[in-house]
């Protein structure tokens, strides 16, 4: 089975910071990689699909890149509403462990 | 309104059974594969099961294989998860999720709010 590893598991950042989250697959997965945002008590939200495609309605400060085994989610300028946990996902089976973005 | 609403979560003893339901509205339910995803307290997201749009294909995570059964009723726009032989490690918030696209190039583009299952003696 393909395993997805995210790093870091948590980070502290300030409003306006550029934030990058990494996701590594245990074997090559082409661009079969999605990113979700999850806030406590709310439904997760799709941000990026197929590695780099921005889901409709998601702010353009979110972007995704990568292919093969290494992927990155970038938030260009962190906003107060972006403090949440972010997950990568390969296909439907494999989620990464999550990256919690906290206020510095 | 386009939404998924889960129900059926409860506190149950180990070894007992429980059925979760998910009511879909606002979209053509019969056109989409559907999934259950769970989140144990303090843990990350874990995929549980999927059912194809026509119920011809079902898959399960190893952790629930043989104990959980996913089903759907397209005429009622309902998704179900029958859980049996429940274990304490099944304690989690269970999300109903819509899959958009094929297996390798799709994503969950709609989620419910979740229903809580607690397995405890």
Reported as a single tens digit per residue, the pLDDT across B73-93 is 999 999 999 999 999 999 999
C-alpha to C-alpha distance for B52 and A68, rounded to whole angstroms: 27
Determine whether the interchain pair B114/A36 forms a contact, defined as Cβ–Cβ distance below 8 Å. Answer: no
Contact residues of B toward A, CB < 8 A: 35, 44-47, 50, 61, 95, 99, 101, 103-109, 111-114
Q: Which positions ≥6 away from B75 have C-beta within 8 Å?
A: none
Q: What is the pLDDT of residues A72-87, one digit of tens each?
A: 999 999 999 999 999 9
**b/e code B76-114 from CB counts within 10 Å (16+ = b):** ebbbbbebeebeeebbbbbbbbbbebeeebbbbbbbbeb
pLDDT of residue A92: 87
Report chain A residues whose CB lies below 8 A from the CB of B103: 91-92
Task: Give the C-alpha separation, B4 to A44, whole Å.
Answer: 12
Set of chain B residues whose Cβ sits within 8 Å of the Cβ of A46: 107-109
Q: How far is CA A51 from the centre of its chain?
A: 10
Closest-CA residue to A70 (of A33, A15, A40) = A33
The answer, yes or no, to whether residue B71 has pLDDT greater than 90, is: yes
pLDDT band at B105 (very low <50, low <70, confident <90, very high): confident
Which residue of chain A has the CA closest to B114? Answer: A43
Do B101 and A49 count as a contact with CB atoms less than 8 A apart? Answer: yes
pLDDT at A103: 87
pLDDT > 90? residue B102 = no
H helix count then E strand count, chain A = 0, 11
Cα separation of B81 and B60, whole Å? 11
Residue B121 burial by CB count (10 A; 0-12/13-18/19+): exposed, middle or buried? exposed
Q: Tell me the pLDDT of chain A averaged across its residues.
A: 96
User: What is the average pLDDT across A77-102?
Assistant: 96
3-class secondary-structure state, position B29: helix
SS3 for B53-112 is: CCCCCEEECCCCCCCEEEEEECCCCEEEEEECCCCHHHCEEEEEEEEECCCCCCEEEEEC
Instruction: Return the pLDDT at A41.
Output: 87
Mutate to test the interface with A, among B38, B50, B93, B108 (most CBs of A within 10 A): B108
- Of the residues A32, A43, A52, A56, the best mutation for testing chain B's interface (the one with the most B CB atoms within 10 Å of its CB) is A43
Assigned token pair, A15? 């409003």
> How far is it, in rounded angstroms, from Cα A10 to Cα B115?
26
- Residue in the structure block whose two tokens are 């998860």: B81
Our CA-based measurement puts residue A30 at a distance from the nearest CA of chain B, in whole angstroms, of 9
Which comes out higher in pLDDT, residue A99 or B104?
A99
Instruction: Give the model's pLDDT for residue A55.
Output: 97
């Amino acid at each position: 089975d393909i395993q997805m590893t995210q790093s870091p598991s948590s980070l502290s950042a300030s409003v306006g910071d550029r934030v990058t989250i990494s996701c590594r697959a245990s074997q090559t997965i082409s661009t079969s990689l999605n990113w979700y945002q999850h806030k406590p008590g709310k439904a997760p939200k799709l941000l990026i699909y197929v590695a780099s495609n921005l889901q409709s309605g998601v702010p353009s400060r979110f972007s995704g890149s990568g292919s093969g085994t290494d992927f990155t989610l970038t938030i260009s300028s962190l906003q107060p509403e972006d403090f949440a946990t972010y997950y990568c996902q390969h296909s439907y089976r494999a989620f990464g462990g999550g990256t919690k973005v906290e206020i510095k | 309104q386009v939404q998924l609403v889960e129900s059926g979560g409860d506190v149950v003893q180990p070894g007992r059974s429980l059925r979760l339901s998910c009511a879909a509205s606002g979209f053509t339910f019969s056109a989409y594969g559907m999934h259950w995803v769970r989140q144990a307290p303090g843990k990350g997201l874990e995929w549980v099961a999927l059912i194809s749009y026509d119920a011809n294909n079902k898959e399960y995570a190893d952790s629930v294989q043989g104990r959980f059964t996913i089903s759907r009723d397209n005429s009622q726009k309902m998704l179900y998860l029958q859980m049996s032989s429940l274990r304490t490690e099944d304690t989690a918030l269970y999300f109903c999720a819509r899959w958009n696209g094929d297996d390798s190039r799709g994503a969950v583009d709609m989620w419910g709010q979740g229903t809580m299952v607690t397995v405890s003696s």
